[in-house]
Amino acid sequence: MDRHLSLGIFLLVFGGITTTVSLFIGVTPTLALGLATLLIGIMTLYLPEPTESLAERLASDSSVPALLNIENLLDDLSLNEKGVYIPAAGLEVCPKVFVPLSQTRLSRRPPRDLNNSRRVFITLDEKTREGGILLEAPGRNLLSELELYLRLDFAKVDVNDLHEKLESGLKLLEVSKSIALERQTDQTLTFQTELTAFGNLEVKLSNLTPHVFDQIGGPVSSAIAAAVSKSTGEYVAFRQVSINPTDKKITATIEFVR
Amino acid sequence: MRTIDSFLITYAALAFTSVITLSLTGVETLDVYIALFAILFFVAAELTPLSPMGSRKKVILETALVAIFVVTVAERVVQVLR
């Protein structure tokens, strides 16, 4: 139980009993003591925010300008296609995201060795000038932390165990309360997760950087997509991703690009 | 320590100190204690400001305490005027 909750309940009960007894015996100082305890109990239960601390929020908010730059880049280059997560393997290795200029057979499944590239502007075919931009996944570091805490490489995780591993990892890092992962068809997989951390950041990103959020995903959805790509060894892209600002629940559909 | 914890400790220290002090000075009227509890909330909030995240809830609590303070003082003013 949350320490504020347990302390608040204790103070409420103690204050309530002291106030009631004092009312009967008619002693004002103890009555005041009971009321003070009652008031502090109410404050202890009411005031604390269950979400991240200010320092945590500032730390996560510091990533917003970087994603705003990507948003401007996508906008400026009129890149409207979904980003494709290129499957990767290895502990703490995160798939990179390729956002193509246009959807072609080649750009839908760019070469896997692009994961080793440090270039941003990629030309896949010199003749047709087919290409796009290659980005680090917004959830790169979150995926690395997940792998470090779980001490496993998602590329070695069986698809059937992916849900369990993701749920335990995200809970361990206090990122989300739970995750529902369901493979709907052979082509798609949906997930829903209620965030405990990153919730405000994800909502902010969905408003400030709608292209990034929709085409590549926010940190959490991106980390999950990257984990799916690693585990299945498939190219994946978001078909749809959204967040409910009230309960901070992310719902997304991932498409396997074949 | 989180700002909310510092605030609660400060407020509790102020409230309990005032209860002990007032009881030692022989104050027997409850409205004095209640008015002081309201004032002490603002003192504690000034000493240990709450984070911006908690400010909305703080405003609601401040409004409630100001209302209690005004009612307590008004009641006493009416008593004096009668």
Using CA atoms, how far apart are residues A80 and A192, in angstroms rounded to an integer? 24
The structural domain count of chain B equals: 1
Is A231 found in the same domain as A127? Answer: yes
Answer yes or no: are the C-beta atoms of A175 and A219 closer than 8 Å: no
Is A81 found in the same domain as A39? Answer: no
Does some domain include residue A131? Answer: yes
Interchain contact B4–A (C-beta under 8 A): yes
B3 and A54 within 8 Å at the Cβ level: the answer is: yes
Interchain contact B33–A (C-beta under 8 A): yes
Other CB atoms within a 10 A radius of the CB of residue A197 amount to 21
Is A95 found in the same domain as A173? Answer: yes
Q: Which of B28, B37, B51 sits opposite A36 (nearest CB)?
A: B37
- The dihedrals phi and psi of A32, each to the nearest 5 degrees, come to -65, -40
pLDDT at A56: 64
pLDDT at A173: 79
Domain that holds residue B44: 3-81
Q: Which residues of A touch B48 (CB under 8 A)?
A: none
Can you tell me which residue has the tokens 């979150």? A142
Using alpha carbons, list the distances in angstroms from residue A221 to A161, A195, B2.
18, 11, 29
Is A87 found in the same domain as A17? Answer: no
- CB pairs below 8 Å between A and B: how many? 65
Structure tokens of A257? 């690009």
Q: How confident is the prediction along chain A (258 residues), in pLDDT tens digits per residue?
A: 578 889 999 999 999 999 999 999 988 899 999 999 999 999 998 887 655 566 666 667 778 888 899 999 999 988 889 999 999 998 888 999 999 988 888 888 899 999 998 898 988 888 888 888 999 999 999 999 889 888 889 999 888 898 999 988 887 777 887 889 888 888 999 999 988 778 888 888 888 999 999 999 999 999 999 999 999 999 999 999 999 888 889 999 999 988
Domain that holds residue A70: 56-257
3-state SS, A114-128, equals HHHCCCCEEEEECCC
B11 and A43 within 8 Å at the Cβ level: the answer is: yes
Using CA atoms, how far apart are residues A161 and A80, in angstroms rounded to an integer? 33
Does some domain include residue A192? Answer: yes
pLDDT at B2: 63
Is A61 found in the same domain as A31? Answer: no
Is A11 found in the same domain as A120? Answer: no
Does some domain include residue A51? Answer: no
Q: Which residues of A touch B23 (CB under 8 A)?
A: 28-29, 32
Is A207 found in the same domain as A168? Answer: yes
A49 and B34 within 8 Å at the Cβ level: the answer is: no
Using CA atoms, how far apart are residues B10 and B2, in angstroms rounded to an integer? 13
Q: pLDDT tens-digit profile of B4-47?
A: 788 899 999 999 999 999 999 988 888 899 999 999 999 998 88
pLDDT at A176: 84
Is A207 found in the same domain as A136? Answer: yes
Q: What global pTM score does this model have? A: 0.63
Is A139 found in the same domain as A17? Answer: no
pLDDT at B19: 92
Is A154 found in the same domain as A135? Answer: yes
One-letter amino acid for residue B38 of the chain: A
3-state SS, B11-76, equals HHHHHHHHHHHHHHCCCCCHHHHHHHHHHHHHHHHHHCCCCHHHHHHHHHHHHHHHHHHHHHHHHH
Q: Which of A28, A43, A53 sits opposite B8 (nearest CB)?
A: A43
Using CA atoms, how far apart are residues A249 and A243, in angstroms rounded to an integer? 6
Is A208 found in the same domain as A109? Answer: yes
pLDDT at A30: 92
pLDDT at A199: 81
The structural domain count of chain A equals: 2
B45 to chain A nearest CA, in Å? 12
Burial-class residue A231 by CB neighbours within 10 Å (0-12, 13-18, 19+).
buried
Q: Which residues of B touch A40 (CB under 8 A)?
A: 8, 11-12, 15
pLDDT at B49 over 60: yes
Using CA atoms, how far apart are residues A68 and A82, in angstroms rounded to an integer? 17
Using CA atoms, how far apart are residues A66 and A216, in angstroms rounded to an integer? 14
Is A10 found in the same domain as A65? Answer: no
Chain B residue nearest residue A49, CA to CA: B54
